[in-house]
Structure 1
Amino acid sequence: MLFQSLAGLPSFLAYFAVAIILLTLFGMAYIFITPYREIHLIREGNLAAALGLGGALLGFVLPLASAIAHSVSLLDMAVWGLIALLVQLLVYRVACGLMPELVRDIPAGKVATGVFVGSLSVVTGILNAACMTY
């Protein structure tokens, strides 16, 4: 009985490993495209930066989880994970276009801006995840 329960372990490990790689790739790409240093700001206690980055990570993981749940293969999951990654990066760019002051407000610790950016990422992630059902 135990061996039947563990039969899916190799698939679990493969999907989890690819998901962690995609999450790491997203985190690095997001930090790269922002003109401020999130990790440094967060270490200094900047709540706006933490909310923005945290929302972006959540906004990416939601569709990634949907891709894992609905994919037909590991490659399928990875492709949809990359699509989710691109969508989230695009959302940040659009937010910067709509609110050019965002680039100054996050490092200045303006929490409202961090909440807005993080919320926009989560909302987009929810929509993205919902669209990944097939």
Structure 2
Amino acid sequence: MFDPVISGLPAFASFFATGIVLLGVFFALYVLITPYNELQLIRAGNEAAAVSLGGAVIGFALPLAVSVAVSHNLYAMVGWGVVAGIVQLLVFAVARIALPRINESIPQGRMASGIFLALLSIAVGILNAGCIA
């Protein structure tokens, strides 16, 4: 009854661990490229920073999950993870160009900016996930 589950545990563990590492690397890079310290802002109760960062993480995790589902290959998963990370970093760069004051809005706690950035990240993440073959 549990034999297929048990035999699949090593693959699950390797994909899950790799996904967590990729998520951690993306998280660190994203926090590094933003001109404000999201973690400090979140600790201070800044909801716009929390929503914005959460959207970027979801926008990255969606294509990563799809890459696991369609590839069943760790190398392909890592490759798609790198692509997804680059895409999400570009989303932030484009948002900064389109809304130059977003660098001030997020630290000031303006939810409209946080929500917009989160939804943009999630929308692009969904599109990115749908393009993985």
Q: With structure 2 as the length reference, what TM-score do the two structures score? A: 0.97
Q: 1:5 corresponds to which residue?
A: 5
Aligned structure 1 segments of 4 or more residues deviating by more than 4 angstroms:
none
Q: Which amino acid aligns with 1:88?
A: Q
Q: 2:62 corresponds to which residue?
A: 62
CA distances 1:65-84 after superposition (whole Å, capped 9, x unpaired): 11111114111111011100
Residues 1-134 of structure 1: pairs in structure 2 closer than 5 A: 1-132=1-132, 134=133
Structure 2 SS opposite 1:108: coil
Provide the C-alpha distance between the structure 1 equivalents of 2:22 and 2:119, rounded to a whole number of angstroms. 21
Provide the C-alpha distance between the structure 2 equivalents of 1:32 and 1:118, rounded to a whole number of angstroms. 17
Q: Percent identity?
A: 48
Provide the C-alpha distance between the structure 1 equivalents of 2:4 and 2:105, rounded to a whole number of angstroms. 53
For structure 1, list consecutive stretches of 5 or more residues without a partner in the other structure. Answer: none
Distance 1:72 1:2, change over 3 A: closer
Provide the C-alpha distance between the structure 2 equivalents of 1:5 and 1:65, rounded to a whole number of angstroms. 19
For structure 2, list consecutive stretches of 5 or more residues without a partner in the other structure. Answer: none
User: Per-residue deviation at 1:3?
Assistant: 2.8
Task: Supply the RMSD in Å over aligned alpha carbons.
Answer: 0.8
Provide the C-alpha distance between the structure 2 equivalents of 1:69 and 1:31, rounded to a whole number of angstroms. 27
Q: Which amino acid aligns with 2:111?
A: V
Provide the C-alpha distance between the structure 1 equivalents of 2:32 and 2:10, rounded to a whole number of angstroms. 33
Provide the C-alpha distance between the structure 1 equivalents of 2:88 and 2:27, rounded to a whole number of angstroms. 11
Structure 2 SS opposite 1:36: coil
